[in-house]
Amino acid sequence: MKNKIVIAIDGHSSCGKSTVAKDLAKALSIAYIDTGAMYRAVTLFALRKGLISDGKVDEKTLIENLPQLEITFDFNAQLKRNETFLNGENVESEIRNLAVSNSVSIISAIGAVRRQLVEWQRLMGDKISVVMDGRDIGTVVFPNADLKIFMTASDEVRAQRRFDELTAKGQKVDFEEILNNVRERDRIDSTRAESPLRKADDALLLDNSQMTMQEQFDWIMDKLRQRNLI
């Protein structure tokens, strides 16, 4: 394998980006950077400091405090998962709670927060081999990534996957409502002012509407071999 590689995976919601990114990182023995977890860690910090109230953020104080934050990742071999650390504290479980989930969108919409996290993400990729997924990895974070993948699937397929996932957890959900949500998230992601979702000109398009997770994994591994990256 090349001494240091950067794999950028972008795409629409409910495409399975994180799953395939984690599988790649494990197979290649490189770091997986969970950009969503980074925004959740900042959100947890803001909640702990009382900077979020009634759906509004004290942006000035949060931005002033960003330099104090250090977000890192480590692989827990026993639990077989990546874990997120905030200033040395393992916060993997806490960042997944409902309070964080309810507030992370307003934190991630703050331009100064996005710019700071992009800087941190770039620093991680400058030091070690990484696979990173998100909305703006190949366009903003790593425009010179060794391999860029843009994942998508039809609206209906993504909505069905989400429907099946929630139903399996015992939740009663409406397919049309989920479908509308998928389309609205696409609209918001693609039209926001700060780092909108778009396919990088040199990204490879992976439409996984009719593909299994294994087929997606094999497809990306083939692309890595074709480029002599592994």
pTM flag (> 0.85): no
User: Angle, to 10 degrees, between the axis of helix 35-48 and the axis of helix 111-127?
Assistant: 130
The answer to whether domain 1-30+130-230 and domain 31-128 are alike in fold is yes
Q: State the pLDDT at residue 219.
A: 98
C-alpha to C-alpha distances, 131 to 66, 164, 225, nearest whole angstrom: 24, 27, 16
What pLDDT is stored for residue 185 in this prediction?
A: 77
The distance of Cα 10 from the centroid of its chain, to the nearest Å, equals 8
Give first-to-last CA distance, the chain, whole Å. 4
- 207 sits in which H/E element: strand 204-207
- CATH number of the domain at 31-128, out of 3.40.220.10, 3.40.50.1100, 3.40.50.300, 3.90.230.10? 3.40.50.300
- Let me know if domain 1-30+130-230 sits in CATH 1.20.120.420: no
Report domain extents, the chain: 1-30+130-230, 31-128
> For residue 74, what are its two tokens?
């480590």
Nearest alpha carbon to residue 108 among 177, 179, 188:
188
Per-residue pLDDT of the chain (230 residues; tens, 9 = 90+): 778 999 999 999 889 898 999 999 989 988 888 888 899 999 999 999 999 999 899 999 999 999 999 998 887 778 777 789 999 999 998 998 878 887 888 898 899 999 999 999 998 888 889 999 988 899 999 999 999 999 999 999 999 998 998 888 888 889 998 898 888 878 878 887 778 889 999 999 999 999 999 999 999 999 999 999 98
- The confidence score (pLDDT) of residue 79 equals 78
CA-to-CA dists, residue 93 to 60, 90, 97, 106, angstroms: 27, 8, 7, 20
